[in-house]
Amino acid sequence: MTGTSDFVESVAASLALVRQRRPRVHCLMNTVVQKFVADGLAALGAIPSMTSALEEVEAFAQRADALVVNLGTLDEERRRAIRLAAAVARDADKPWIVDPVHCDYSPSRLVFARELIAAGPSVVRGNASEMDIVGNANGALRIKTGAVDELTLDLHTIRVENGHPLMAQVTGTGCLSGALIAAFMAVEPDRLKAATGALLTSGIAAEIAGERSSGPGTFEALFRDALAALRPEDIIVNARISHAES
């Protein structure tokens, strides 16, 4: 990797590319946060699609630019839909991300998360409890989010410090981060760069919203506004990241 400032500049350019190309992200998203995630993608400038119907999920995944698979509300039919869409993404070499939501709460969900990871997603993202239990990432970029986000791929570790504590009081900011990462991967083939761009975008937008808001309710609306208004130069000026090589 070149110097951090070159890296941030090229990451910031990927925000402009998302706005220009408007990638479609197919979301197999939990039922709790579907609207929040679709609105967040739209605010960014991407196009969400959300169906999980068995008869059409493959067609939706095939024509999408990236896929996000989120395990938040699983039942047998959704597992089948996820398997179908993941196979399409894998066979078409399309970027896809697994968010193993609550795999720490249920043994059967943990087994399913590991099955998906064995199929070779581009990225696995979760909070600390989920990432600590899910195990080997099978070559995927591993992202543990929290007050500081930690991205690990091969020997590289990037830490993204931007963000705001109110993010933890709005259900779905992690789920949305997975969808934003998918949108960035659709326009930036270097997944470490793409994911850093998505997390900086979300973290800096949250800082702007946090300054203006009076609690989680107003924060949610202001966060979406800030996502829509964020410019590449805001990333260059406000990014707080570090890089280590082991």
Ligand X SMILES: Nc1ncnc2c1ncn2[C@@H]1O[C@H](COP(=O)(O)OP(=O)(O)OP(=O)(O)O)[C@@H](O)[C@H]1O
Can residue 72 be called a binding residue for ligand Cc1ncsc1CCO (CB under 6 A)? yes
* Residue 115 CB, nearest approach to ligand Cc1ncsc1CCO (Å): 19
Subset of 137-156 contacting ligand Cc1ncsc1CCO (CB under 6 A):
none
**Selected binder of ligand X within 202, 209, 220, 235 (CB under 6 A):** 202
**Selected binder of ligand X within 67, 98, 141, 167 (CB under 6 A):** 167
N residues, the chain? 246
Q: Which residues pair with 101 in a beta bridge?
A: none
CB 32 within 8 A of CB 172: yes
CB 200 within 8 A of CB 233: no
Can residue 129 be called a binding residue for ligand Cc1ncsc1CCO (CB under 6 A)? no
**For helices 173-187 and 34-44, angle between their N-to-C axes, nearest 10 degrees:** 40
Cβ neighbour number for residue 63 with a 10 Å cutoff: 12
| Closest by CA position to 122, among listed 102, 104, 143 | 143
Subset of 85-114 contacting ligand X (CB under 6 A):
101
- Per CB under 6 A, the segment of 26-34, 130-138, 149-157, 186-194 that binds ligand Cc1ncsc1CCO is 26-34
Cβ neighbour number for residue 243 with a 10 Å cutoff: 15
* Residue 31 CB, nearest approach to ligand Cc1ncsc1CCO (Å): 8
Subset of 161-200 contacting ligand Cc1ncsc1CCO (CB under 6 A):
171-172, 175
Residue 30 interacting entry, from ligand Cc1ncsc1CCO, ligand X, Mg ion, none, C-beta within 5 to 8 Å by type: ligand Cc1ncsc1CCO
Question: 156-160 and 149-153: which strand pairing?
Answer: antiparallel
Give dist(CA 18, CA 166) in Å, integer.
26
Number of residues that bind ligand X (CB under 6 A): 20
* Residue 106 CB, nearest approach to ligand Cc1ncsc1CCO (Å): 11
CB 192 within 8 A of CB 7: no
Give dist(CA 185, CA 174) in Å, integer.
17
Nearer to ligand X, 108 or 169 (CB): 169
Binding residues for ligand Cc1ncsc1CCO, rule: CB under 6 A, are 30, 32-33, 72-73, 101, 171-172, 175
